[in-house]
Structure formats: structure tokens, C-alpha cells
Structure 1
């Protein structure tokens, strides 16, 4: 008889788990599915590609262009000779010596999404370049700035 009671408890547990899963599926799946459908319609890299295209068409290929890692690679592939990954500023002595020896005054353009104050505080050359620049193009969150330092 004890075995029958244990089997009933296991069976009731399975029903409870199955019922909970069914309720979760009915409540969660429709919201999750609609979010996934909406996300599938968004091109998350469109702004970055548009900014890259603008730089390739409007900026000299020997200009010092500070940018994020996505655009950096595209600029290298497009024949730019002096793109600088923004995280190399103030952290890589070789980059500072060879690419931006005069600090922000060596930078021609900055192409990136707005950065947090904490990021700019940790990269003073980038912070100065951004502060001493004008926006020449904007593609959603990606901003192209010409530096006048």
C-alpha cells in the first residue's frame, strides 16, 4: 500500500509540474514570441554600416579615425591606414607613440556611439577628442565627429 501512495504522490507532482508548465506557456510564450518577431525585424548593425559607408566616402583614407572594434575592422578592409580602436587610446603605449603622438590633436575623426562618462574618464585622449569636435554625421546612435583639437 505504501508503494501505491508514493506512486500517487509522484503522479500528483507530475500533474502539478505539467500544469505549472502549461500555465507558464500560455502566459509567457505569446509575449516572448511577439518580442522575438519584432526583434527579427530590426537590423541592429544598420547604423554602424551606414556610418562606415559615410566615413569611407567622405574621410581621407590616411586620417586618424578613432572608432569601436566593429567599424575599425571595416575601415581596415576599406584601405584606411590609421584607424584606432578606441580602447587602445591611453592604454597602449605603442598606439599613443605611433598613431596619436600629440594626443587628441593627432585625431582627425571619432566614430562611435555615445560613451558613458566613466568610459570617457578612463580614456582622457578620447574625452578631449570628443570635447573638441563637431558632429558631421549621425546614424542613429552612431556619431561621426571631426576633431579640431
Structure 2
């Protein structure tokens, strides 16, 4: 998202574009999948005075504005990514913590069956499957298993 687009979204809500808001959004976009702590580390490389509380508040604001979304990929902090991304299912390696993505169509048969048998529809945009990536399973390089856009843990 460009700086002018972000400024327009904020102005439409009666808010202004601050350097901190811009840095937090840019960190999420650059990192792909990031916890608030990872965003904080990235932002502090540019603006050392930004504290973790500001990061959390800014992420909450950006989520209310529909610019980012979060998923709980573990028992720890939520993981944020750009809201404009296509829907995807997260694959989380329990060994190395790497995150990979697959298309939600792979879960469509399960979703259809759950609807037919239980009347339950899966929110595929918030699905995380836990297991062991191909790299860890083969004893090779962690985080290298599977196809798709993976990310190393922070």
C-alpha cells in the first residue's frame, strides 16, 4: 500500500498518517507473517524510540481499518499479515516454527463435508494446520519443506 493510500484510509476515519503507523504497516508488508515482537524489531531498526505498546496499538488500529489481519498460529502472540492477501491456510512446523501457505481449495472437501454433516462452515481465512515441515521430517534444512510462500520464524 502506498503512503498516499494509507493517508487516505486514515483521513477517511478522521485520523492522520504518522511515521509510526506507516512504519508498522510497512514492516507487516515486508515480513509477510509477523508477530508484534517481530514488527517491533523491524520498526526499531528505523525508529529506535518506538515501544512495543505502540506496536500493539497500531496493529489493532490497522486491523480495525481493514489493512491487516491476524491469525493465532501458536499459543504465543498473534501473527499479522496484510488483509489484502488472498485467503490461505497456514502450515506451521512444530519443529522449526516455519510458516508456509496452501490454497484453501485443498480444504474445500472437508468444509463441504462439515457443512453437510454438521451444518458447520470453516472460516478458512483463519485456519492453521500444525505438523512437521518436509525439511525437518527429512532431517534437512528446517523451514524448507512444502511449496508456497514460507517464512522463517523470528
Please state which band the TM-score falls in when normalised by the shorter chain.
under 0.3
Query: What TM-score comes out, normalization by structure 1 length?
Result: 0.26
Determine which structure has more spread, i.e. the larger CA radius of gyration: 1
Q: Which has the higher helix share?
A: 1
